[in-house]
Structure 1
Amino acid sequence: MEPRHGIMKAFPKVKRARVLQGKDAPPVKKKPEEHDVKGNCFKGVTVYILPAGIGNARCQIFERQIEQNGGQTERALSPGVTHVVVDDSMDSDRAMRLLKVDCMPSGVQLVKCIWLSSCITQKQLLDVDSYSLLLPKRQSETKNENIEEELPDVQPTATAIVEPTSDHSKQEETLDIAVLDTQEEVRGEEDGVSQSDLEALITGQTPQEETPGPSLEPATDSAAQSVVPGKWVCAQSSQSKSNNFNKDITDKLEVLAKAYTHQGDKWRALSYSKAVNALKSYHKPITSYQEACQIQGIGKRMADKIDEIMESGHLRKLDHLGDAVPVLELFTNIWGAGTKTAQLWYQLGFRTLEDIRTKAHLSTTQKIGLKHYDDFLDRMPREEAAAIEKVVKDAVHAVDPGLLSMACGSYRRGKATCGDVDVLITHPDGKSHKGVFSRLLQSLRDSGFLTDDLVSHEDNGEQKKYMGVCRLPDHRHRRLDIIVVPYNEFACAIMYFTGSAHFNRSMRAMAKTKRMSLSEHSLNKDVVRQGSLKVFGGTPFTTKTEKDVFSILGIPYREPHERDW
């Protein structure tokens, strides 16, 4: 019952409605998304709508509207698709995982659902730039060498903010910043970067590519074995960079890498990170420009900057970091806020955390991230991470003593401090892990150990993932991820969640050169690709341990502490 003028009427008088029929009957009002609009605004467009987050019923409505307006639809990412539409809250990394591709095929746009809604509302095919989740296609390295590098003092562009014409669009596109840049973006997975570009960030070595063209034939065994490890990151120990002979240079380049990252310029950030890793791995101090040019992973323009630091002890570019950079860094440190959200907040005039707290429209996860801002930034000692793992392990064994659990991430790599704790759970019988997820989480909530849920349940195939916040007595709030996986995926999942991110990219890229595919689920053989589109996912190898993965790829096994790239 509705309150009227502040007074609740228990039994208001109700006038009996007169049944109207025929021409007297009022028109049935359809929901905006159900208008049977006919036109040709989608002519020449073929759309695949990823149902995750959108829902099957809404997908069907959209598909009908696309077809009624001259377009075509597909039920999978197949050749001929021009646009892939995903839920507004999804980021490109998760979309790639759900689509099971390393990168989007050439010419295919990955766009938010609001693009489709806006096209239908405005009855025209809108430009995708403001709705796209992908970076512009990478220019060749030679061409990039000739482009005048922009200083990272450029303010976030106002063009990212669209002025929609309808109220519906306005509600979803302007101040509703609840659209979540998921933390996976913050943790460093570059959008739109092909695996072949990410094989060896320390060397810049170009990987051996598969034969170009539309061939759909899987590689032969001899072709798969022809790729040599060379100086791939995954084939080397990260201990090689334990003695950094060029720290004065790498410290300054890392500042610029971070600045570009916070501004969303991932290509330049990647270029600087690549150079930093190359310098950290170099066996002696660099003494000349010519020597810098000879190091794989360092181009001429980067060598110019290195030479400037060697000559003057300083890099002038650091003097021109704009006011936006520290503010963007402040904002992206909020869990759940990525670079796009941070830039939008900056454009709206926000400059402090208090501005965000009092003026921004925050999602539930961003509110939690803001509440625990200082705690999340404070790295915990290993001892605290071990104590968190023990609490989870005890709860796991209380549910079923036969379950296995293991802390991964930086803790398993032997780091002295950890940003969060990732715990993997499985059962050797391959089936008893099912049904554990909800019982375990409820137990940890009942004990007061879990204080906040960030992502309470994310399905990834047969894997289930929880992302939340925990707290030991008299300690800070800490980030905790719990992942339940089937036993046949345990080895690949351990490798994936152990990291580091650079090491994982190198492993996946090497697998690709061998016509294989590596993910947190499995290492597959006989993968068939058409360009960058995976048309057949291949057949999983049996990988009982991480060593099996290394052995199949033909590279020496690396202990977790050797993967800290």
Structure 2
Amino acid sequence: MSASSTKNDFDENIASIDLIPSDPNATFYFLPNGIGKDRRTIFTNAIQQFHLQLLTSPKNARFIIVDEQFDAPKVYSVLKLDASENDEKPKPIIIQTKWLSDSLKEKHLVPLTKDYIIRAPLIRKKAMPSFSQEPVIEEKTRFQNKPKRRLSDDQPQGGSATQVKQRRYSSDDDDDDYDIMEDYNDTVKNPYKHGELPKGNWMCSMSSQTAKKNTEVNKHIIEKLQAMADLYNKWRAYSYQKAITTIRRCTKRIDSYEEIIKLPGIGESLAKKIWEIIDTGSFEKLEDFQSSEYMTVINLFGNIWGCGPNIAKQWYDQGFRTLDDLRTKAKLSHNQQIGLKYYDEFLERMPRDEVAEIEAVKEHALALVPDLTIQTCGSYRRGKATCGDVDILITHSDGISHQGLLIPLVDSLRKSGMLL
């Protein structure tokens, strides 16, 4: 496979920047999109701490600082910047917020290497991907070949809707493949009565066996797309989720790029990624993301009991990278202190006999309220040799007597030493 013909007039621009933007005339713009309130505060304080010249508009900024999950085309689109090669004005350098995070960790501005810079948009010639030798069927032909659905008797018999296909600007790093016009056009071509859902290949309309069969046919594709969707924020993940839903509906195995590009809701950029999975069995972007320092640290912190994804991101942005950093530098809640203290123990699965000992909670509960129905659930009830945690269901046949039991039960367990 020969490489696609590309031109990128930004490489020279990136290579020419100083390792540290120490020039007092260097200007910065901070894009807050996709960054929570607490993280924004951390980054804003860091910009002030390092005496960086912050602008309120990106128009004249030399550097634009953005969240790691943004790519260059998305930044250019959000800020309405000109990405064309005809614009002679120097392009701004797009920097990951990780640069500020690492600078906070080191307590000084770290060298601004290419690792922190998000590659600028590629100026591409319109051509088919190198792995395809056949032209893509034009949109008009594709829609003409689709069987037309009969209009309802209650609908006006006007002319067919004009098919408008607005393909977003795309590059290798652009995952915003969702085209809202595609959903709109499908609705216009297939009208339905007020109060009724449009008929179509809805997952809920399939039998469970059909849905399972379809999923298994292209399981190798769905698994990797789902893994990528799980790593992205909800907006970036939308195109992946839409593609997953579409692929689940396929009743046969997808084996070619031409089959992918014909699927509704899948653009050229995402089609290339799906073809990479089919052709090589791997997904390089997913592997790079999973092995990045950011994801490694987020996963490490996310395993702490009492710590959610947002807290993990805040700790990362504050420059923390290890559990020792948290022990010595972070302000932890009581639950987080317990989670950190017993970090390894909480990750270990308990043997079945240890869970049986924990079932002693039944005795404490029955001592408080007789005739309770108590059942240890989860892996233990299913007969597994080990359990990740212990789930205990407590109720009463009258539907009332078990109410208000939790607080006195916890007090009883603490007095006995079963709870910390």
Q: Same fold (TM over 0.5)?
A: no
Structure having greater relative contact order (Cα 8 Å, sep ≥ 6):
1
TM-score (norm 1): 0.34
Larger Rg: 2
TM-score (norm 2): 0.44
